[in-house]
Every structure is written in structure tokens, then in C-alpha cells.
Amino acid sequence: MSRKPKKGYYVRGEFVAEGSELDLELKRELKGTDAASRTDLKRESTELQKLGEDLLTLRADLLARLELSEKLMDALADAKRITDFEGRRRQMQFIGKLMRQLEPETLDAARQALVEQHSGSARETLSLHQAEKWRDELIASEDALGLWLSQHPDTDTQQLRALIRQARRDAVPGRPGEAPRQGKAYRDIFKLVREHMSE
């Protein structure tokens, strides 16, 4: 089976494939300028438009910290209201245009705010997983209760013991082959654990 040859050319005995990094470097040398090409400008413009789109998902407190122009803030608010596909696409292009007028420091601050929001949600997810793990261990093992109380001595021991007993009773299937049930006590233990972990 014959392989289609790559497009390219030879320079000083070395094959240069079209579109490769070396090809782009040689073309820049040939142009004699380091000015950004139209492709580079388009790529940057698309990236800034995407950043503007990401700002739509940014929490209000993080958005307020950014020093964005009133025009850009209004454009972001309008984009949230627009439901028509074509209208939204044009609005996002307008936001991209406004983003290109921002200072590099402001763009960096916007990127940092998005990272902060994302890492915050990752922390929240980890906290939820830890609470679920504690809940399951408290229901499954008597030792877990002692460990929990040593780490969180301000817990209402009597209430927690009652919830654990109820959750264990609820988990016993009513008939053979029936799946274990998770009742109100199961959810209440999770709620109690979350409250104490966030203190």
C-alpha cells in the first residue's frame, strides 16, 4: 500500500514539512519581520473571545473584583439575556472585540479569577466526598464514632448515635433480595457531618 508523500520542500538537504514549526520559522525569516501574522491575530482574537465567554460563568463576587469597563460589563449582562443563537454569536464577537482593548494585567486577573473559581469548586467537591466517607464509616463501624468524636468533640453524641441506629435499621432490607434503603437518618447524618466539618 503506497503512502501519500508529505507536502514540503528541502532546505540545505533537510526535508521541511509544510505547516511544521521549522516551516513557519523559515517563512517568518523570509518575510523579514517578527510582526504577528493574520493567523496569529485570529488565534489571539478567538482566545480572547473564549475568555469573554468564560467570564459569563464567573461568580458575581469574582467578577466585581476585576476592573472591567462599564461597556464590557453591560455587554456581558446582555449576553446572559440573549437566547437567539445568531444574536448570542454576534454578542460574543462584540465581547471579544472589547476584550482586545483590555490591558494585559486585567486579562491576567480575569484568567486568575477563573482559576480561583474552578479550584474553589474542586475544594467543595473534595469536602462533599469527605463528608460522604465519614457518613458511610459512621454507619458501618462503631470505631468510626469514637474517632469522629475525638476529632469533633462538640458533636451532640446522643443525636448522632440515634441517627446512626436509625440509619442501620433503615438499611436492613424488608424482604430477601430487596436493595438496602437509605432513609431520612442517612441524609441527616450527612448534614450533621457537613456542618461540623465546615466549622
22 domain residue, yes or no:
no
Burial class (CB in 10 A: 0-12, 13-18, 19+), 26: middle
State whether 159 and 112 are in the same domain.
no
pLDDT category, 90, cuts 50, 70, 90? very high
2 domain residue, yes or no:
no
70 domain residue, yes or no:
yes
Cα–Cα dist 24/17, whole Å: 10
CATH of the domain at 188: 1.10.60.30
What confidence score (pLDDT) does residue 199 get? 66
Domain that holds residue 141: 125-172+179-197
| Pairwise pLDDT comparison (138 vs 5), residue with the higher score | 138
Please state the pTM of the whole predicted model. Answer: 0.46
Go through 48-70 and write b for each residue having 16 or more CB atoms within 10 A of its CB, e for each that does not: bbebbbebeebeeebbeebebee
Taking residues 80-100, what's their average pLDDT?
A: 90
What confidence score (pLDDT) does residue 86 get? 92
State whether 86 and 101 are in the same domain.
yes
State whether 42 and 114 are in the same domain.
yes
Cα–Cα dist 79/9, whole Å: 47
8 domain residue, yes or no:
no
State whether 150 and 187 are in the same domain.
yes
pLDDT exceeds 70 at position 2: no
Q: How many domains does the chain have?
A: 2
pLDDT exceeds 70 at position 121: no
State whether 168 and 153 are in the same domain.
yes
Taking residues 44-59, what's their average pLDDT?
A: 86
Q: What is the pLDDT of residues 29-39, one digit of tens each?
A: 777 665 666 77
